[in-house]
Amino acid sequence: MDAAVLNALREVALFRDLDDGERMELAYAMQPRFYARNQVIFSRGVIGDGLYIILEGQVGISREGPDGGEIMLTMEQSGEYFGELSLFDDEPRSATATALTPARLLFLSRATFQAFLGAHPGAVMACLQMVVRMLRRCTDLVDELALLDVRSRLTRRLLFLADQGHSETVQITQHHLASMVGATRESINKHLNSLVDDGVIRLDRGSVQILDRDRLAEYVLDPV
């Protein structure tokens, strides 16, 4: 058994409270999958069939906005997971997942997971806690889009991505950042350059480096 698979399972909230024997049981059921850069992993509207864990690479989760453009909801990194709601029902996917870089993933099917829950009922509570966290994250996203201006959404998203990746350097293009914030690339470029002029960040090709986290946080206005 690859130690990376077991370590990846420990990082999934659903499986964090399982004992080593239970995680080992799931590890043997995981299927490796590989995706090229810009390859669609699944599309919104198709019936979901399982959970994905990222071993290497970045995955963007997006939806089509009211104007037909893409809105990037989140960008998942190595060690994170997505598609977990399909472990509980056979409803269509609510978003599209695309590999932003070459990606090495693990896949756990719904049928395998539900059989596991039948054998390990104690894991159900951990699942419910995970669903609640997802609902809270969705509420935060709605608040961002509805109540914050572009600069506040941008700075809040940069801080979130830095915390998510445990690094002051955020690997992301301006195109993807604009999609996540729900703004045009031109608007994002203008605000980023303003932050550069203020000495808060530095721009490199395909990345944003946070130079002063405390000052950057001051740009995040509270929702009105």
Rounded alpha-carbon distances, angstroms, from residue 26 to 11, 87, 116, 172: 13, 13, 8, 32
SS3 45: coil
Assigned token pair, 138: 């969705």
Answer whether 157's CB lies under 8 Å from 176's CB: no
For residue 129, the model assigns a pLDDT of 73
CA 150, 155, 159, 162: dihedral to nearest 10 degrees?
90
The CA-based angle 98-137-39, given to 5 degrees, is 0
Query: For residue 61, what are the β-bridge partners?
Result: 74, 97
The per-residue pLDDT of the chain, averaged, comes to: 83
For residue 163, the model assigns a pLDDT of 82
Query: For residue 208, what are the β-bridge partners?
Result: 170, 203
For residue 223, the model assigns a pLDDT of 43
- Judged on CB neighbours under 10 Å (0-12, 13-18, 19+), 213 is middle
- Measured distance CA(98)–CA(209) in Å, rounded: 24
For residue 224, the model assigns a pLDDT of 39
- Measured distance CA(67)–CA(95) in Å, rounded: 16
- Residue spans of the chain under pLDDT 50: 222-224
The pTM assigned to this predicted structure is: 0.68
Please state whether 45 falls in left (phi above 0), alpha (psi between -120 and 50) or beta.
left
